[in-house]
Chain A
Amino acid sequence: EVQLLESGGGLVQPGGSLRLSCAASGFTFSSSAMTWVRQAPRKGLEWVSAISSGGSTYYADSVKGRFTISRDNSKNTLYLQLNSLRADDTAVYYCAKGRGKYYDLPLDYWGQGTLVTVSS
């Protein structure tokens, strides 16, 4: 059974940093592209960042230069480093598995999300 478990969310002040993790199991993590999607309170889904199985990275303009996606295939874990956080980064952050090794594929499994709140 595919499982994705996000962690690392919490309350952080504007300008602060946070690292999100996503522990994966039930599939060959190293062969799958992975993606972060966020959802602000009472809003829709926003694609944030993705990483291919080979390690190529992609970002939304809204987070480019502030967020960094990475993966550790030895630990079956996906990460998202969030720096220079702003109030409009407040959201539930979901990790999701791609249907293959490239980032531009549908997302066939999602985690339950972790809440990031940016507030003073």
Chain B
Amino acid sequence: DIQMTQSPSSLSAFVGDRVTITCRASQGISNYLAWYQQKPGKGPKLLIYAASTLQSGVPSRFSGSASGTDFTLTISSLQPEDVATYYCQKYNSAPPLTFGGGTKVEIK
């Protein structure tokens, strides 16, 4: 099975800071990578798919990029409402459609 390794597991930043989260696939997955945001007590929300395509309605401060098997989620200017846990997920064919371990984002 393909493993998805996310880093860091948690981070703390100031409002307005640029925040970067990384997800590494153990094998090539082309651009079949999605990012989700989960707030406490809620179901996850799709932010980005195809590594860099913003889901409709998601603020433009969120962006995604890919380089080989490394994927990055960037929040260009952290806002208080961005406090959440973020997950990557690979969705190329062949189950399981594995999630990364998650990154908890907090405000300093």
Binding site for B on A (CB under 8 A): 4, 35, 37, 44-47, 50, 58-61, 94, 96, 99, 103-113
A47 contact from B50, B97, B102, Cβ within 8 A? B97
- Cβ-defined contact, A107 with B34, below 8 A: yes
Name the residue in A35, A59, A107 with the highest tally of chain B Cβ atoms < 10 Å from its Cβ: A107
**In whole angstroms, what is the CA distance A45 to B34 when docked?**
13
Chain A contacts for B89, CB-based, 8 A: 45, 47, 106-107
Which secondary structure dominates where chain A touches chain B? strand
Residues of B within 8 A of A113 (CB): 43
Contacts of B45 in A (CB 8 A): 110
* Closest CB in chain A relative to B34 CB, distance in Å: 4
> Chain B residues with Cβ under 8 A from A106's Cβ?
34, 46, 49-50, 89, 91
Number of contacting residues on B, CB 8 A?
Answer: 26
Task: Say whether B87 contacts A44, CB under 8 Å.
Answer: yes
* Cβ contacts under 8 Å, A61 to chain B: 96
A33 to B2, CA, bound (A): 22
8 closest A-B pairs by CB: A110-B43, A106-B49, A106-B34, A45-B99, A44-B102, A58-B95, A47-B97, A60-B96
Contact of B77 with A by CB under 8 A: no
Cross-chain contact A105 with B91 (CB below 8 angstroms): yes
Please judge, given known A-B contacts A106-B34, A110-B44, whether A47 and B96 are in contact too, CB under 8 Å.
yes
Looking at the assembled complex, report how far the CB atom of B80 sits from the nearest CB atom of chain A, in whole angstroms: 23
Known: A47-B98, A107-B46. 13 other contacts (CB 8 A): A37-B99, A44-B87, A59-B95, A60-B95, A60-B96, A94-B43, A96-B44, A104-B94, A106-B34, A107-B34, A107-B44, A110-B45, A112-B42
In the complex, which residues of chain A have a beta carbon less than 8 angstroms from the beta carbon of B87?
44-45
B92 in the interface (beta carbon within 8 A): yes
A41 and B49 alpha carbons, distance in the complex (Å): 27
State A99–B55 Cα separation when bound (angstroms).
Answer: 11
